[in-house]
C-alpha cells in the first residue's frame, strides 16, 4: 500500500532522534545512506556531505531533481562561562525562547553530554526581573549535567568551544492523528522521499524521466542543494515544510504549495502543474506565500542553475519551534510526490 502513512511516521520518528544540526548531520546522512543501500540503490556521496540516488527513467535526456534536507536547527558552544555553564551561538534561524527549558546534548570530540538550555536568571525565587529579561545570546546558557562549577572543570570534561549542541526532539503522536516533534523541518519530507524510494524499488516502477533524489545537509544555513545538480535537470522540486500562522493559507491537513517566499516567486508553470495534479488526483492542497523563508530550490536558483523550481510539503505548525503536523498532511504530500514523479514535465 502506498502511501503507508504509519510507516512514514515511524521513519520520521527514527530520523528526528538522530542529532543533526547543520554542519553536524553526518549521522542522519549515514542513516539515509545505509537505508537506501538496503533497498538496493547505488548512493552517490557529495563532498559537502549530502547523498544522491538516481532512478533511471524512460526519458534519460531530461531529468528531474527532488530534494529534502536532514540537517536541523541547533547550536554550538561559543564560550565556557566562569561558572562552568556554556554560552551558545545559533545554528539556523530561530528564537531563543523556542528552546528555553529544552533538554539538549553537547557533542564533544570523545563523548556526548546531556544538559538543559536555561536563561541564566531562570529562578524566580532569586531573580525578580526574570519575566522581563530578553532571551538572547547573553542570557541563554546550557546547564551541563555534570559536577562542574568552573570553566576549568568543564574544560577538563573535554567540552570545548566549537562543540555542537543538539535539541531533544520530544517526538509524540496522538490518537487524533497529530505528529509533534522538533525537526519535522525537514525530516518529515526526508522520510517521505525515503518511503517513496522504497515503494519504487519494491514495485519495480519505472518513472517517465530520470529523477535524482538528493538528501542535503546544509539547508538551514542556506546552501544545501545549490550544487550537485546534473546538467540534464530541467525541473527542481524542494520538498519542505509549509509555514503556518496568521495570514497564511496553509494548514496541518493538506499539502502546501509555495507560490513565493523571501527569494521571490517560484516557477509559475511548474507551480500550476502541481496544482493541476492535485485537482486531477483529488489531493487536498493549499497555495501559499511564505514571507520569511528560503529553500534548497531557491538556493539552487541563486547558484545559477537553469531549471524550473518549485516547493511543496506538509503544513507544519510553529515552525522552528515545537513543530506539529497531522497525518492527513503527510498523506496528501505523499500523494502529490507520487503523482509528480509519474507525470509529464510541466
All 3 cell numbers of residue 93?
A: 534561524
For residue 161, list its beta bridge partners: none
For the domain made up of 5-72+183-341, the CATH class stated in words is alpha beta
Within 10 A of 189 (CB to CB), how many other CB atoms are there?
28
All 3 cell numbers of residue 217?
A: 545537509
Q: Which residues of 52-86 are buried (b: 16+ CB within 10 A; e: fewer)?
A: bbbbebeeeeebbbbbbbbbbbbbbbeebeeebbb
Question: What is the pLDDT, as a whole number, of residue 200?
Answer: 98
How many Cα atoms within 13 Å fall on the side-chain side of residue 111?
A: 10
Coil, helix or strand at residue 284: coil
Strand runs labelled E in the chain: 43-45, 51-55, 59-69, 74-80, 86-91, 103-107, 112-119, 140-144, 164-167, 172-173, 178-181, 209-216, 233-239, 242-243, 255-261, 264-265, 285-289, 308-316, 323-326
Contacts of 164 (CB under 8 A, 6+ apart): 19, 21, 23, 24, 74, 75, 76, 91, 106, 107
Q: What's the rounded Cα separation, in Å, for the pair 62 and 58?
A: 10
Looking at the annotation, which residues are catalytic? 219
Q: What's the rounded Cα separation, in Å, for the pair 73 and 80?
A: 21
Question: What is the pLDDT, as a whole number, of residue 244?
Answer: 97
Q: Which of 145, 223, 181 is nearest to 15 (CA)?
A: 181
For the domain made up of 74-167, the CATH class stated in words is mainly beta
DSSP state of 241: P
What DSSP element (H or E) covers 320? none
Q: Which residues of the chain fall short of a pLDDT of 70?
A: none
Q: Where are the alpha helices (DSSP H) in 127-219?
A: 151-157, 184-202
Q: What's the rounded Cα separation, in Å, for the pair 18 and 150?
A: 30
Domain boundaries, the chain: 5-72+183-341, 74-167
Q: Can 5-72+183-341 and 74-167 be said to share one CATH topology?
A: no
Q: Give the chain's end-to-end CA distance (angstroms, integer).
A: 27
Question: What is the pLDDT, as a whole number, of residue 188?
Answer: 98
Query: How many Å is the maximal CA-CA distance in the chain?
Result: 69
Q: What is the pTM of this model?
A: 0.97
All 3 cell numbers of residue 143?
A: 546547564
Amino acid at each position: 500500500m502506498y502511501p503507508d502513512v504509519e510507516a512514514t511516521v515511524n521513519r520520521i520518528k527514527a530520523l528526528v532522534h538522530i542529532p543533526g544540526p547543520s554542519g553536524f548531520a553526518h549521522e542522519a546522512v549515514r542513516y539515509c545512506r545505509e537505508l537506501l543501500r538496503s533497498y538496493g540503490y547505488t548512493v552517490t556521496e557529495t563532498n559537502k556531505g549530502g547523498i544522491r540516488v538516481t532512478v533511471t527513467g524512460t526519458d534519460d535526456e531530461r531529468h528531474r531533481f527532488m530534494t529534502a534536507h536532514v540537517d536541523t536547527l541547533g547550536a554550538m558552544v561559543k564560550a565556557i562561562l566562569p561558572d562552568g555553564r556554556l554560552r551558545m551561538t545559533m545554528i539556523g534561524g530561530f528564537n531563543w525562547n523556542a528552546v528555553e527549558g529544552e533538554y539538549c546534548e553537547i557533542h564533544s570530540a570523545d563523548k556526548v553530554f546531556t544538559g538543559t538550555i536555561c536563561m541564566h536568571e531562570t529562578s524566580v525565587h532569586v531573580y525578580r526581573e526574570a519575566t522581563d529579561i530578553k532571551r538572547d545570546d547573553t542570557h541563554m546558557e546550557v546547564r551541563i549535567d555534570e559536577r562542574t562549577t568552573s570553566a576549568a572543570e568543564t574544560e577538563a570534561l573535554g567540552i570545548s568551544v566549537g562543540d555542537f549542541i543538539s535539541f531533544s526532539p520530544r517526538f509524540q503522536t496522538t490518537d487524533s492523528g497529530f505528529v509533534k516533534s522538533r525537526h519535522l523541518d525537514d525530516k518529515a519530507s526526508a522520510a517521505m522521499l525515503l518511503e517513496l524510494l522504497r515503494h519504487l524499488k519494491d514495485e519495480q516502477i519505472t518513472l517517465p524521466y530520470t529523477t535524482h533524489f538528493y538528501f542535503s545537509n546544509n539547508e538551514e544555513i542556506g546552501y544545501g542543494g545549490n550544487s550537485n545538480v546534473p546538467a540534464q535537470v530541467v525541473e527542481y522540486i524542494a520538498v519542505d515544510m509549509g509555514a503556518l500562522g496568521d495570514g497564511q493559507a496553509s494548514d496541518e491537513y493538506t499539502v502546501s504549495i509555495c507560490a513565493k517566499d523571501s527569494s521571490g516567486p517560484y516557477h509559475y508553470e511548474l507551480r500550476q502543474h502541481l496544482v493541476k495534479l492535485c485537482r486531477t488526483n483529488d489531493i487536498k492542497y493549499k497555495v501559499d506565500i511564505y514571507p520569511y523563508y528560503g529553500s534548497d530550490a531557491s538556493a539552487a536558483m541563486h547558484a545559477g542553475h537553469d531549471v524550473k523550481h518549485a516547493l511543496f510539503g506538509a503544513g507544519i505548525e510553529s515552525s522552528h519551534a515545537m513543530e506539529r503536523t497531522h497525518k492527513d498532511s503527510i498523506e496528501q504530500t505523499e500523494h502529490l510526490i507520487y503523482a509528480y514523479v509519474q507525470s509529464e514535465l510541466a
